Amino acid sequence: MKQKIAILGSTGSIGKSLLKIIKKDKKKFEISLLTANKNYKILLKQVKEFNVKNIIITDQKYYKIAKLKYKNSKINIYNNFESLDLILKKKIDYTMSSIVGLNGLYPTLKIIKYTKIIAIANKESLICAWNLIKRELNLYNTKFIPVDSEHFSIWFALKNIDKKKIEKIYLTASGGPLLNLPYRKFKNLKISQITKHPNWPMGKKISVDSSTLMNKVFEVIEAKKIFNIQYDKISILIHPKSYIHAILKFTNGMIKIVAHDTTMKIPIFNTIYNNEDKKIKSKNLNLSIINNPNLANINLNRFPLVRILDKLPKHNSLYETAIVSANDALVEMYLKKEIQYKEITKKLLSLANTKEIISLKKIIPKNISQIEKLNKYVRLKIKTNSI
C-alpha cells in the first residue's frame, strides 16, 4: 500500500527537494495534498507530474486564476486550510510543513491531527508556538521530526538515549558571508554581498539572518524547546564549512559529532524514510574538513545579537514572538533599502530591552490569535519607528 503524504509549501526549496526524492520512488508514495501561496504555475506542474488531486492556493488572486483555468479538471482546488476537513478524511502517513514565516503556524497546527508523522521546517512555528504544537502532538499521537540540519542531527544523535545524559549541545554556524570581512567595512556593504551565502543556497532573508547570526539564535531557541533542555546547556560554535552540524557531549564523557554533506536533501530524506533501510547517494567522508574543522567560539563583539540568548525566559512566552517579528520586519526594511545593515542589530537589541517587550516574558501563548496579533503589532511598531 502506498504511503499517503502532504507537503505544505511544496513550491519552496524544502518542498521541491522532497519531491525530487519522492520522484525516484513514485510507486511508494501517494501525494494527498500540495499547497502554495502565489506560485500556482509551479504548483500545477507538480500536480501534473505526481497526479495530485487536492491543492490549496492561499493567495486569493491566484486561487481564482487557477480555479477558472482548471474548472473542468478533476483537481480539487481550495483557498484555505479550513479545507483540510474536506481533503483528509483519514490520517495520512507523513506531512512536511515547510511554509515560510508565521503564515506556516496555523496550517502546521491544523494538520497535526490528520497525520501520523509531521516533519516541521518552519522555524517560526517551533519558536513562537512550541507549547501549542506539543499539545496537539500529544493529543493526536502524532510523531514529530525536526527538519533543520542542526536539529535533525541532534534528534538523530539522541535516538535511544535519555536526554538527562546531555551535558552540552553545540550547534555550528558558518558565520555567514561576512565572517572574514573587517567590521570597519560594514558601512559600505551591498545587499548582494550579504545575500550570497558561502555554503548553502538560501533565500535573501535567511542569508541576512545568517550574517547577523540571528538564524543561530533562533536555532538555539528551537533546540531548547524541542529537546526540553536549558539554554545554559546549548552553545554556538563557528564552523565555516558547515559540514559538522551538531556536537553532543554526554555526562558519561562520550562525545557525538554529527556531520553530513552540505545539503538539506539528507535530513529531508531521513524524515520521510525514517527507520527504513533506504540508501541515499552521498559524498565520501571529507577528511580535509574533519582534520581541520576550524571550530571557534562566538565573538560577541562581531555578532552582538547572540546576546539576546541571555535575555530569554526559561519557559515558553510571547517574548520570543516579539523578537521573531521584529527581526523579520527589520530584515525586510533592510532589503527594501529603508534602513542600513547595522541598524538591524542596533534596533533589535534596543527593542529587546524595552519594558513593553520585556513584560511579554510573563505571558505564555494560549492560542494562534494571540501570536498573530502580537506579530502584526510589533511589525507595525518597527516600521513606524514607535517602539
String of DSSP letters for 181-250: S-GGGGGG--HHHHS--SSS---HHHHHHHHHTHHHHHHHHHHHHHHT--GGGEEEEE-TT--EEEEEEE
The angle at the Cα of 211, spanning 18 to 339, to the nearest 5 degrees, equals 115
Q: What is the pLDDT of residues 365-379, one digit of tens each?
A: 999 999 999 999 999
The dihedral through the CA atoms of 235, 240, 245, 251 has a sign that is negative
pLDDT at 191: 86
Residue numbers in the chain where pLDDT is lower than 70: 200-202, 387
Q: How far apart are CA 60 and CA 68, in angstroms?
A: 12
What domains can you pick out in the chain, each with its CATH number? 3-147 (3.40.50.720)
pLDDT at 176: 83
Q: What is the pLDDT of residues 295-329, one digit of tens each?
A: 999 999 889 999 999 999 999 999 999 999 999 99
**Residue 106: helix, strand or coil by DSSP?**
helix
pLDDT at 181: 79
pLDDT at 387: 67
Side chain identity, residue 90:
K
Q: How far apart are CA 258 and CA 338, in angstroms?
A: 40
pTM value?
0.94
Side chain identity, residue 185:
K
CA-wise closest residue to 176 among 217, 228, 124, 127: 217
Cβ atoms of 146 and 120 closer than 8 Å: yes
Q: How far apart are CA 224 and CA 163, in angstroms?
A: 12
Q: What is the pLDDT of residues 347-368, one digit of tens each?
A: 999 999 999 999 999 999 999 9
pLDDT at 185: 76
